[in-house]
Amino acid sequence: MRLQALAAALNLPPTDLPDVEAVGVTHNADWAGPGDVFVAIRGARFDGHTFIQKVKESGAVAVLGEGLPDGVASPLPYLCVPDARAALADVAAALEQHPSRALRVVGVTGTDGKTTTAWLTRHLLRAANLNTGLLSTVGYELPDGELRHFPAHFTTPEAPQVQSTLREMVTVGADAVVLEASSHALALDRVRGVDWDVAVWTHLSREHLDFHGTVENYFAEKRKLVERARSAVLNADDPWTAQLTGLAPREITYSAEGNRADWTAHDIQEGANGLSWRVTSPLGDFEVSLPMIGRFNVANALAGMAVAAQLGATAEQLVTGLASFRGVPGRMELLPGDGSVSGSAAPRVIVDFAHTPPSLEKALATLRTTTAGKLWVLIGSAGGPRDPGKRAPLGEVATRLADHAVFTEEDHRDTPLDTILREMERGAREGGRENFTSIPDRAEAIRWIVEKAKSGDTVLLAGKGPEDTLERADETLAWDEVAVARRALAEWQMAARR
């Protein structure tokens, strides 16, 4: 796109700009290359304007910003915009030719259930014969179903990565895409410029207040998704939903708790390996089964069914799709700890991302209802400045709800691991419990807990979920929790054959 056309797309007044081609956009000076537009954002620690000379040397052709600081001159054409982050997103969408307009885009937001609902929705749309992509916190998928990850330096996809991924989906023939919309993504305009067809609201609870300040601010950012969509699928069981009604031109509601809604669940049955219930919906009444653990997943499934039905799925396709869903990596992921070995079944091993006291309590309470034997849990706590106050409560929750807890590492970074483990132990002891073991090395801890578990027991490996790195002091290691757990299960099975 020529620089003049780009300025026009931003509704900037005509200016004397050089006739050069803009091929990309970034706000990170280290990523700037030939033909890029650099967006100078004033952040809490750095002002992007200090890197203008650097991006010029990298081949950038222009700079966007909210105004040059006093005494600073730009050696590149400078376009002044009212909001630099908004401009970053608008330029990214324009350079990629607004790919979301060629897709049916489903956005999912809320505190709990975003990832599972997004994956379920993607699966149900595929069952309805829509070539569907996914952009999730776990990774992204094109319609081919292969899970991909952004490069390591893209810890959170920014607007240019969101738009380029959507363009890639259009290029490979996607019909639809399901996109998780976090409060940060909405607040920082990372998903600005996305043309939303359906907004899904799962549930809201206190989270990320270090960033948003108040729960009201947190809610205000998330509600942007509903405000921008053509239709909304809303959780009738969430008290915040009352403030969302009337924002979207069309509304569909769902309830797993008996509240009045368009999609409701009745006669919910929980088993060791899945859920079943009866659905009442605009498509009629029908029975469904879902091979996932946790009653809360009924609500996630209802949301996904409501979206898929709106985009053309039949009741038969929904029934078949739910029954064939294989789960979400690292979200109550049940490992295939197969049947009998020497006459006894291997322990049930589950990998989950639960890493806060409320999420760990929810996971353990769910597993307790379907565990015949002992319930074991492995949990760590992150280091650095990331809420050290949750370490003792994690130890208390783990030892109160599980028969035995193992405390171990989880990205302790520059915090001494021993300090973290002692805090978790303190939480357990203040709760009057000693049913724990501390094993610093996470791989060793997983082997130990699986080895100790017996047939009929359940082992929850909590905290890491789908994350593919493990941070220790000044090193970052490759990590695959599921692979480590599978090796431990294989060792359990070999021992059982002896």
Annotated binding residues for ATP, written as ranges, equal 110-116
Strand partners, 438: 407
Annotated binding site: 110-116, 155-156, 182, 190
Q: Roughly what angle, to the nearest 10 degrees, separates helices 297-310 and 114-127?
A: 40
How many Å apart are CA 400 and CA 25, to the nearest integer?
51
Interatomic CA distance for residues 105 and 392, integer angstroms: 41
Ordered alpha helix ranges (H), 336-405: 357-368, 391-401
Nearest to 50 by CA among 33, 19, 29: 29
Residues contacting 111, CB < 8 A, separation 6+: 202, 203, 204, 205, 206, 207
**Which SS3 state, helix, strand or coil, does residue 415 take?**
coil
First to last CA, the chain: 68
Phi-psi region of 248 (alpha: psi -120 to 50; beta: other; left: phi over 0): beta
- Give, for 260, the enclosing helix (H) or strand (E): none
Q: How far apart, in whole angstroms, are the C-alpha atoms of residue 358 and residue 397?
A: 9
Cα dihedral value 471, 473, 475, 477, nearest 10: -30
Cβ burial 299-314 (10 Å sphere, 16+ → b, else e): bbbbbbbbbbbbbebe
Please say whether the beta carbons of 99 and 142 come within 8 A. Answer: no
Report which residue type is found at 10.
L
What secondary structure, in 3-state letters, does 26-52 show?
A: ECCHHHCCCCEEEECCECCCCEHHHHH
The continuous run of DSSP H or E covering 86 comes out as helix 84-95
What is the C-alpha separation between 258 and 189, in angstroms, rounded? 36
Angle 190-193-196 (CA atoms, 0-180°, nearest 5)? 100
